[in-house]
Structure 1
Amino acid sequence: MPNTPSAWFKSSFSTASGDCVEVRFDGDVVLVRDTKDRGSGPVITLDAVRWDGFLGQLRAGSVDADGVLAVLPAPSGGVILRARHDGTALRYTRGEWEMFLRGVRAGEFTHSAAVA
């Protein structure tokens, strides 16, 4: 498995450019950021149970309108990932999001599997 607790990681499907959805597990908390921000941009923080629920919705092909994270279309054809509890938003290109979704479908971002 490419991820380890307490280390930032991205999908194994991500391109060599390194711009992608990046995730870190810290106990029962999941942090999400955009590598384009070089560690100085916003970070979405949520509990692991809600994160795993969000991943399940992504795998099913629909994100609950009342869920913890909103996936919104961006004007450039990419997506905006917005935390509903505080409005923190991350912007990803279409390619970055697709590589993330491939990793989601492969089980690379599931918190419960990583910490088990």
Structure 2
Amino acid sequence: MPYSPSATARGWFKSSFSTASGDCVEVRFDGDVVQVRDTKDQGSGPVLTLAAPAWDDFLRRLLSGSVEEDGALAVLPEPRGGAILRAREDGAALRYTRGEWEMFMRGVRAGEFTHSAVVARAS
């Protein structure tokens, strides 16, 4: 059964693979805009915002292993397996632990974060 986050149209959601601790990559679709934040910040940290087509492009690049600095978002590896997600436009960044990033990537591979697919399912 395809994953369909119930909060997609209303608010933030995370990978279905995320642990009970709640620390994870959170995403929200707001029309043609995608927002990304870190749950550890409890809503007070930075929020990365980009156009939905740029988000879907980022996910495609992420899956192919070619996320470079020239895209809307860059992934910078951390020494212990975590990742920094940096917005090219303003340099805002989110830092994720290895576990958080792994759970997000599992959700990406399962198609949980693709804006175009989720919006089509919600219609």
TM-score, with length taken from structure 1: 0.95
Structure 2 unaligned residues grouped into runs of 5+: none
**Stretches (4+) displaced over 2 A:** 74-77
Q: Distance in 2 between matches of 1:44 and 1:81?
A: 9
Q: Verify the 8 A CA contact 1:14 1:99 in the aligned structure 2.
A: yes
Deviation by residue 1:1-38 (Cα, 9 ceiling, x = unmatched): 12522310000000000000000000000000000000
Q: Distance in 2 between matches of 1:105 and 1:24?
A: 18
Q: Distance in 1 between matches of 2:16 and 2:88?
A: 28
In the other structure, the counterpart of 1:26 is: 30
One-letter identity of the residue aligned with 1:28: D
Q: Distance in 2 between matches of 1:51 and 1:21?
A: 14
Structure 1 unaligned residues grouped into runs of 5+: none
Q: Verify the 8 A CA contact 1:5 1:114 in the aligned structure 2.
A: no
Percent identity, aligned pairs only, is: 78
One-letter identity of the residue aligned with 2:5: P
Q: Which one of the candidate residues 2, 14, 17 is aligned to 2:5?
A: 2
Q: How big is the alpha-carbon RMSD for the aligned residues of Structure 1 and Structure 2?
A: 1.1
Q: Which one of the candidate residues 46, 51, 64 is aligned to 2:55?
A: 51
Q: How many residues align?
A: 116
